[in-house]
Amino acid sequence: SAVISQKPSRDICQRGTSLTIQCQVDSQVTMMFWYRQQPGQSLTLIATANQGSEATYESGFVIDKFPISRPNLTFSTLTVSNMSPEDSSIYLCSVIRGRIADTQYFGPGTRLTVL
Amino acid sequence: AQTVTQSQPEMSVQEAETVTLSCTYDTSESDYYLFWYKQPPSRQMILVIRQEAYKQQNATENRFSVNFQKAAKSFSLKISDSQLGDAAMYFCAYRDPRGGSEKLVFGKGTKLTVNP
């Protein structure tokens, strides 16, 4: 497995503002992902964070709303832009550490509440 | 598109007893991966068990085992000797490795309560 940390662990934000969530892994990983878990719901993949290039977004998610960076093999950020109450969710990063067919391990999540 | 269905929103079990959580999925692929993740109130997603579709043998991890029925597209999780710490949301997940995609498709989850 991998030791994954996320900052902040939770935040309460005002409508119209932006929040950047950080994901840090204790060692180099092959792939990094960002998921959203809306209240009482399952997880939905937002995007794959690609090191040194633009993230690959899933249908329904766009870069202007969820810009992602991955400057190296152990760190990624997700920004939730121009927030509305509908963005209130848990945001989780996950990683694949070794070969591509390996298991995804998840960070502890960031609980975001938008007022 | 692949879908994952967990038909039991909630389940309960007595401590030390056995419980089975159901999961079915829809795919036209023959090679894929299936997972069970546990999410306690701390919200950390923890891998419970993993199954490769090409393996006929059911995966086992200590008190956790699966019943993988490929033809029926069924992937149930059995928890033996249930413990209070097993109380959590359990999510079944599918991954189709075609084209290098590592996307996990999750079911809606089953909330497991363990009664002392």
Instruction: Write out the residue range of the structural domain in which residue A40 sits.
Output: 4-110
Span B33-44, pLDDT tens digits: 999 999 998 878
Span B73-92, pLDDT tens digits: 999 999 999 999 999 999 99
Span B95-109, pLDDT tens digits: 977 666 678 999 999
8 Å CB contact between A37 and A98: no
Q: Is residue A65, in this structure, part of any structural domain at all?
A: yes
Tell me the C-alpha distance between A87 and A77, whole Å. 17
Looking at residue B1, its pLDDT comes to 66
Is residue B40 within 8 angstroms of chain A, CB to CB? Answer: no
Residue B102 neighbours by CB distance under 10 Å: 19
Contacts of A15 (CB under 8 A, 6+ apart): A83, A84, A85, A114, A115
Q: Is residue A9, in this structure, part of any structural domain at all?
A: yes
Nearest residue of chain B to residue A57 (CA atoms): B103
Q: Is residue A25, in this structure, part of any structural domain at all?
A: yes
Report the percentage of chain A scoring pLDDT > 90.
Answer: 77
Which chain A residues are Cβ-neighbours of B100 within 8 angstroms? 100
8 Å CB contact between B109 and B89: yes
Selected residue of B45, B98, B106, B111 to mutate for chain A interface (largest A Cβ count, 10 A):
B45
Instruction: Write out the residue range of the structural domain in which residue B14 sits.
Output: 3-115
Q: Which CATH number characterizes residue A16's domain? A: 2.60.40.10
Tell me the C-alpha distance between B99 and A19, whole Å. 32
What's the pLDDT band for A109 if we cut at 50, 70, 90?
A: very high
Q: Is residue A51, in this structure, part of any structural domain at all?
A: yes
Which chain A residues are Cβ-neighbours of B97 within 8 angstroms? 100-101
Tell me the C-alpha distance between A68 and A110, whole Å. 15
What's the pLDDT band for A44 if we cut at 50, 70, 90?
A: very high
Is residue B8 within 8 angstroms of chain A, CB to CB? Answer: no
Q: Which CATH number characterizes residue B44's domain? A: 2.60.40.10
What's the pLDDT band for B13 if we cut at 50, 70, 90?
A: very high
- Asked whether the beta carbons of residue A106 and residue B50 sit closer than 8 angstroms, the reply is no
DSSP string, chain B: --EEE---SEEEEETTS-EEE--EEE-S-SS-EEEEEEE-TT---EEEEEEETT--SPPEETTEEEEEETTTTEEEEEE-S--GGG-EEEEEEEE--GGG---EEE---EEEEEE-
- Asked whether the beta carbons of residue A103 and residue B47 sit closer than 8 angstroms, the reply is yes
> Over 70: is that where the pLDDT of A1 sits?
no
Number of separate domains in chain A: 1
The pair phi, psi for residue A82, each rounded to 5°, is 45, 60
- Asked whether the beta carbons of residue A111 and residue B33 sit closer than 8 angstroms, the reply is no
Number of separate domains in chain B: 1
Looking at residue B30, its pLDDT comes to 86
Is residue B107 within 8 angstroms of chain A, CB to CB? Answer: yes
Q: Is residue A115, in this structure, part of any structural domain at all?
A: no
Query: Across chain B, what does the average pLDDT equal?
Result: 92
